[in-house]
Amino acid sequence: MIHDSVDKAQKSSQNNEMARKQQEQQAMIKDNLARIKHKIFVLSGKGGVGKSSVSANLAAVLSKKGYKTGLMDVDVHGPSIAQMLGMTELLDITPDQQRLVPKQVNDNLKAVSVQALMQDKNQAIIWRGPAKAGMIQQFVGMVDWGELDFLIIDAPPGTGDEPLTVVQTIPEALGVIVTTPQEVALADIRKSISFCNTVKLKTLGIVENMSGFKCPHCGESIDLFMNGGGERTAKQFGLTFLGSIPFDTGVVASGDQGVPIMFQDEETPFTKAFSIVVDNITKQL
Amino acid sequence: MIHDSVDKAQKSSQNNEMARKQQEQQAMIKDNLARIKHKIFVLSGKGGVGKSSVSANLAAVLSKKGYKTGLMDVDVHGPSIAQMLGMTELLDITPDQQRLVPKQVNDNLKAVSVQALMQDKNQAIIWRGPAKAGMIQQFVGMVDWGELDFLIIDAPPGTGDEPLTVVQTIPEALGVIVTTPQEVALADIRKSISFCNTVKLKTLGIVENMSGFKCPHCGESIDLFMNGGGERTAKQFGLTFLGSIPFDTGVVASGDQGVPIMFQDEETPFTKAFSIVVDNITKQL
């Protein structure tokens, strides 16, 4: 019986300690979010539709327009943002050792990726759901974001632990749904719309990516992944269509080189189309 | 004290019941796996590299060659296999109500997808990790697979709950890693290789998908996602390179139409390249 009581007392003290830490984290999350005007959550149903590329270029354009912008990559298993922004070093820690310092990409753009916490970039993070949820909450609460106009959140595709945790941690976030035009991708995007409705995530609309392509040799149009499906789906579900972005091999190359194509000054069909999408997003805010 | 004892007795009886059910499931899994000669687990680091398309076409070729083949889609959030195989109906249940009957695609090919369990195809499955792990174990243990030469398993990209559960449930599975050639994809594939090493999953090699493309108008070559990265990575890590498969808009269309392109008899650069990959897989077994 005495052992029982000691056990119970220890457990209760551990529970109190955990509850205190959770409250502390919740307070830090609330405090951080209060200093960020707009939170944009870039979602996709299917992988490989260019969600990270849209996130990185959206953040690039907003920072070029003078907005204080943060970019948060919470894809533990395939963190592309670090590569796309040329982040090669580990993140620093604040002098009081309490917070992570985001990487300063330019005067207006800060970014955080799980990749920038790892010594060995090739190592897999073999985490189950609860660990990923904890990481996302830390990225929102323990990163020293400061005052921001925009925080862009890039989560893995689908409707599992990571997107769910983002929505639960940042309930005021606004969704931007990225798809490619073919039916296999649209089937998944319909699930993303169902997800948004179920978890009450407001959406700014749908972007159709990799929509059309011009042969660099003969200039003729090629529909790599069909076309028009994103606009059709937006209409069908009463969502805003934010625009079509063409496929551009320069975007693939710029992602590999670590400089988002929207940082470049040259005007191309891609940059023109992308600017329209950004305008269609910002004019709703 | 009496209440305590009753509580304990109830909990202990519930625990016994759960343990019994788990043992029963383990026995069914073991029994099912014993009747399947080769289990091939198709993995990718990044989404959208064509993992489901490779899985469906690999299953199609093996079934055409006369092998009894099963195809299992465990991607809860983006189950593409059902669409790619034209599975529109719900799965049947065995007369004893104990098992799921896989969809018979042709004499030699059976398939199961989480999509074929849902009344509303557009509904999102908003599940956290543990629920997904349970579903995967049920698909291995509770589906009436019968005698098979091959079971092809298509899991979501990354190194999280689903791939981990597949490896833990089917430890004898052999991995086939699919990538596209650009660095952003290769960065993720290096994580997949690290995952395979950590969980001791033997791999048959790497497939480079969407590697090269011929303009349908002028016939000139276009590297949509760069090229050669898959072969380089295989060499770097001492893995077998299974071959390069070109991008083909016909594959996108056939996926939408529900008939894998490898079921068609016409010979194209895609079908030739894909046949080489399949030969490079089967000759290792």
Instruction: Report residue B28 CA to chain centroid gap.
Output: 20
Work out whether the CA dihedral A164, A165, A171, A175 comes out positive or negative. negative
Token duo for residue A85 = 């922004």
| Cα–Cα distance, B44 to A156 (Å, whole number) | 14
Cα Rg for chain A, rounded, in angstroms?
20
The reported pLDDT for the residue numbered A213 is 96
Instruction: Indicate the SS3 state at residue B132.
Output: helix
Strand partners, A102: none
Taking the CA of residue B267 as centre, how many other CA atoms within 13 Å lie in the half-sphere pointing to its CB? 4
pLDDT tens per residue, range B109-134:
999 998 888 888 888 988 889 889 99
The reported pLDDT for the residue numbered A6 is 64
The reported pLDDT for the residue numbered A3 is 61
User: Residues of A at the annotated binding site for ATP?
Assistant: 45-52
Token duo for residue A276 = 């329209």
| Cα–Cα distance, B22 to A93 (Å, whole number) | 45
Token duo for residue B88 = 């529109």
CATH tag for A35-282 (out of 3.40.50.300, 3.40.718.10, 3.40.190.180, 3.30.365.10): 3.40.50.300
Strand partners, B176: B42, B205
| Cα–Cα distance, A193 to A44 (Å, whole number) | 10
- A200 reaches B (C-beta below 8 A): no
Give the pLDDT of chain B (285 residues) as one tens digit per residue: 556 666 677 777 888 888 998 899 999 999 999 999 999 999 999 999 999 999 999 999 999 999 999 999 999 888 899 999 999 888 999 999 889 999 999 999 999 998 888 888 888 988 889 889 999 999 999 999 999 999 999 999 999 999 999 999 999 999 999 999 999 999 999 999 999 999 999 999 999 999 999 999 999 999 999 999 999 999 999 999 999 999 999 999 999 999 999 999 899 999 999 999 999 999 999
| Cα–Cα distance, A104 to A89 (Å, whole number) | 12
Contact B159 A184 (CB under 8 A): no
Q: Among B164, B220, B252, select the one facing A217 at the smallest CB separation.
A: B220
Strand partners, A38: A150
| Cα–Cα distance, B72 to B41 (Å, whole number) | 10
Q: φ and ψ at B281, to 5 degrees? A: -80, -55
The one-letter code for the residue type at B22 is Q
Look up the ipTM and state it: 0.89
Contact A80 B184 (CB under 8 A): yes
User: Is the CB of residue B157 less than 8 Å from the CB of residue B42?
Assistant: no
The reported pLDDT for the residue numbered B9 is 72
Give the pLDDT of chain A (285 residues) as one tens digit per residue: 556 666 677 777 888 888 998 899 999 999 999 999 999 999 999 999 999 999 999 999 999 999 999 999 999 888 899 999 999 888 999 999 889 999 999 999 999 998 888 888 888 988 888 889 999 999 999 999 999 999 999 999 999 999 999 999 999 999 999 999 999 999 999 999 999 999 999 999 999 999 999 999 999 999 999 999 999 999 999 999 999 999 999 999 999 999 999 999 899 999 999 999 999 999 999
Q: SS3 letters for A187-224?
A: HHHHHHHHHHHHCCCEEEEEEECCCCEECCCCCCEECE
Contact B124 A225 (CB under 8 A): no
Contact B222 A216 (CB under 8 A): yes
The β-bridge relationship of strands A109-113 and A69-73 is parallel
The reported pLDDT for the residue numbered A121 is 87
pLDDT tens per residue, range B194-217:
999 999 999 999 999 999 999 999
* pTM score: 0.92
Which residues does chain A have within 8 Å of residue B270's beta carbon, measured at their own beta carbons? none
For the range B220-224, what are the long-range contacts, defined as Cβ-Cβ under 8 Å and sequence gap of 24 or more? Answer: B220/A215, B220/A217, B220/A218, B222/A215, B222/A216, B222/A217, B222/A249, B223/A249, B223/B181, B224/A224, B224/A247, B224/A249, B224/A252
Q: Among A52, A78, A194, select the one facing B124 at the smallest CB separation.
A: A194
Domain limits, chain A: 35-282
The reported pLDDT for the residue numbered B6 is 64
User: Is the CB of residue B78 less than 8 Å from the CB of residue B156?
Assistant: yes
Q: What angle do CA A192, B134, B90 make, to 5 degrees?
A: 60
| Cα–Cα distance, B8 to B240 (Å, whole number) | 55
- A160 reaches B (C-beta below 8 A): yes
Shortest CA gap A89–chain B (Å): 16
The reported pLDDT for the residue numbered A14 is 81
